[in-house]
Structure 1
Amino acid sequence: MPNTGQLHWDHRDGRVAAVAAAIAYSFWVLEIVLPGAAGEQGALATAGSTLQVVLENAHRTAAILVLVAAGLGMALGVRRHGRALTVSWVSTAVFGAASLAASLFSGPCVVSTDVSCASESLAEGVAGASVAQALTAVLAVLAALAAVVALAVDRWSAADRARLLVVTVAVLQVVAATLVLVTAVVVYASSGDGASGVALGLLERFHLVTLALWLVVAGVLPGPWKKTPVRAPAAVR
């Protein structure tokens, strides 16, 4: 008799995890409705506020969900799809691990992938800021960028009907990641902007939107999760 109590994972779990992670990375929109959260001047959350607690927990949960999605994606026959999809899932796993690691550091930055806040806090000597947090945030941004670009390459080579959508999302993330990294370098070189630990709000929100779009696309599209059928050898006549 089959063991009905045995835990069984399939592509549906991975797809749900990817979409759920996208939702968690979008929790910054709660700043509109939470008491005391609206009207922040560039910061995603005030230290000690309800929004800060929500965002910290949401991003930590999102990182774990990304790791689950990446693990299942790699386990479902990606090697048959080609190198691009393998690179995408491996990069996704690196993104999840780096995001989770960054979220465990103590410091003023609410969003683990916020390179601008990490570099600014480091430049201004804010308590809790560290080089390790800044480097893991940079790694997370670069890993997410590699994942979405590789996914776009894979879907384009597979002639997926949604390939233009994936390419568009990849282009948006290229723009967002470039702006975030360049701005972080400028802020660090100029020793901050005078406001200790303040995330550069609009830019970080834009990057979070592109991250959410990528994870939704990765979760909704069936192609990255399906095994490519193995063709039977042609009969010899």
Structure 2
Amino acid sequence: MMNDAATPFPQGGKNVPMPEIMQLQVSKALSGPDPSAPPDRLSLRPISLLRPTSRLPRRQFVVTANRDAHHKSTHLAINQRLFEDPIEDFPQVGTTEIWEYINTSGDGHPMHVHLVQFQLLNRQRFDAKAYLAAYRSWITQGRPPATRPALTRYLTGPVTAPAAEEEGWKDTIVAPPGMVTRIVLRFDVPPPIDGIRGTRTSLPATYIQHCHMLEHEDNEIMRPWQIIY
């Protein structure tokens, strides 16, 4: 398995810091007939698309890269919050929501949501520089809900559908820079395991979302959310 992605992804140069990921060496002969199907003979079953619960607002998660006064270090964040800040997102069990990752940073972020699998709805380009300026001004004013910058004013491109390899159920999806990445999530909890006490989910239950790049999640692109009745 080889990696040809330059860093920072996706606009990086020719430097590929880790081209070789894994090699499998099969030395033993088959012990019986091979029942697997060649990839070109596989067929996929149609996947039912999730339908968002009516009248629920979209949750917006603004990804930012903030440099210090010396422009040497970068603090990353979701909604300009630290991981240990109070929880702000409380999806209700049994509902289906749309989440929007608004990536104002210069990197693509593989966003991962715990508990649920989801579907990629679409992506859309936006004026990241102008939106970020308005967003930071809004934060300095104390985040008044009535004056939060309206994302629709900064959208600049057409809505793009998922690529073929992005269709279906996901637990991680790339949020490219300068793009709004929209996903659809249904919030169900696993049923208790028959015969095993203590396996019933007790609500409210806290889970997290984060960038799946280790350096990024450790640098605050990680936030908790809580599922409630």
Provide the TM-score with structure 1 as the length reference.
Answer: 0.24
Higher strand share goes to which structure? 2
Provide the TM-score with structure 2 as the length reference.
Answer: 0.25
Between structure 1 and structure 2, the one with the greater Rg is 2
Higher helix share goes to which structure? 1
